[in-house]
Amino acid sequence: MTSRSEILREKMEELIAVGALAPGQHLDETELAARFGVSRTPIRETLIQLASMGLVVMRPRRGALVAELGPHQLVEMFEVMSELEATCSRLAARRMTPADHVRLLAAHLACREARDASDPDAYYYKNEAFHEAIYAGSHNQFLLEQTRNLYRRLRPYRRLQLRVRDRVGASYEEHDGLVQAILAGDGDRAEQLTRSHVMIQGQRFADLMASLPQLAAGELLAPGAAGRTRREGAPAP
């Protein structure tokens, strides 16, 4: 059963992911307590948890703020992310069961429906479920946990990438090739495709850097998303 502290952490994590709490923003405990209808104690505990995840920075005597990533750190983290996910895909191609294949195909279909609806916000959540199906299909719990942790840290930036023109369509096409490789049991191909899919470089990196001011300004937040909690199917804490 999910505890109140877990629910609060998930809500704040989601606000950071969608840009409602923007990188560099000061997090006032009193304001947050009023916002969520709780005392300052659970807010403080939640901020400590988020700090342990790298989403928040705790500053002695100056309070907390939403963590920011510089260009160099972003590249390094996406580089590691691409390797973790590539390993998940390689193992998934070897280890997925028929039931795992059904879940992967269902997640892929959901991504296509969001793409066809031209809804990048919906695609973002369906995309999370798609990647989660691959993580689970690796059947390596330690790898799954480490990959989820870094995915959470990069959520605002992965979401932002989907706002770049034509990125949703390109992402889906990359998924399609990956699905075919996994279903065929071609681990090497799945690994290669995933690494290219996740890594940001060249024009993709330039597009992300050009879009960062939107994230800092809170423009990433979709209408009504402030009260949205983690969608069903997204990577679990």
Could you report the per-residue pLDDT of 114-133, keeping only the tens digit for each?
999 998 889 989 999 999 99
Q: Taking each helix axis as running N to C, give the angle between helix 29-36 and helix 4-17, from 0 to 180 degrees, rounded to the nearest 10.
A: 110
Percent of the chain clearing pLDDT 70 (strictly above): 87
pLDDT for res 127: 95
Q: What number is the average pLDDT over the span 133-150?
A: 96
pLDDT for res 2: 53
The residues pairing with 58 across neighbouring beta strands, listed in sequence order, are 64
Phi and psi at residue 203, to the nearest 5°: -65, -35
Residue with tokens 């719990």: 141
Please check whether residues 62 and 77 belong to one and the same domain. no
Please check whether residues 131 and 60 belong to one and the same domain. no
Q: What number is the average pLDDT over the span 50-61?
A: 88
Please check whether residues 96 and 133 belong to one and the same domain. yes
Please check whether residues 82 and 180 belong to one and the same domain. yes
Question: Is residue 229 one of the residues assigned to a domain?
Answer: no
Please check whether residues 55 and 138 belong to one and the same domain. no
Question: Is residue 228 one of the residues assigned to a domain?
Answer: no
**The one-letter amino acid at 68:** E
Using pLDDT thresholds of 50, 70 and 90, give the confidence band for residue 152. Answer: confident
Please check whether residues 40 and 102 belong to one and the same domain. no
- Residue 234, pLDDT above cutoff 60: no
Q: What is the CATH number of the domain that holds 48?
A: 1.10.10.10
Please check whether residues 52 and 110 belong to one and the same domain. no
Structure tokens at 164: 């770049």
Please check whether residues 209 and 98 belong to one and the same domain. yes
Please check whether residues 148 and 197 belong to one and the same domain. yes
Q: What is the CATH number of the domain that holds 202?
A: 1.20.120.530
Which long-range CB contacts under 8 A does 84-87 form with residues at least 24 apart?
Answer: 84/143, 84/146, 84/147, 84/150, 85/131, 85/134, 85/135, 85/147, 85/194, 85/195, 85/197, 85/198, 86/191, 86/192, 86/194, 86/195, 86/198, 87/138, 87/143, 87/191
pLDDT digits (tens, 9 = 90+) for 191-203: 999 999 998 766 7
User: What is the greatest pairwise CA distance in the chain?
Assistant: 56
pLDDT for res 83: 97
- Residue 21, pLDDT above cutoff 50: yes
Please check whether residues 39 and 136 belong to one and the same domain. no
Count of structural domains, the chain:
2
Please check whether residues 81 and 52 belong to one and the same domain. no
pLDDT for res 13: 82
Question: Is residue 233 one of the residues assigned to a domain?
Answer: no
> Which residue range(s) make up the domain with 92?
71-216
pLDDT digits (tens, 9 = 90+) for 91-111: 999 999 999 999 999 999 999
- Residue 113, pLDDT above cutoff 60: yes
pLDDT digits (tens, 9 = 90+) for 154-171: 887 888 788 777 889 999
Please check whether residues 14 and 100 belong to one and the same domain. no
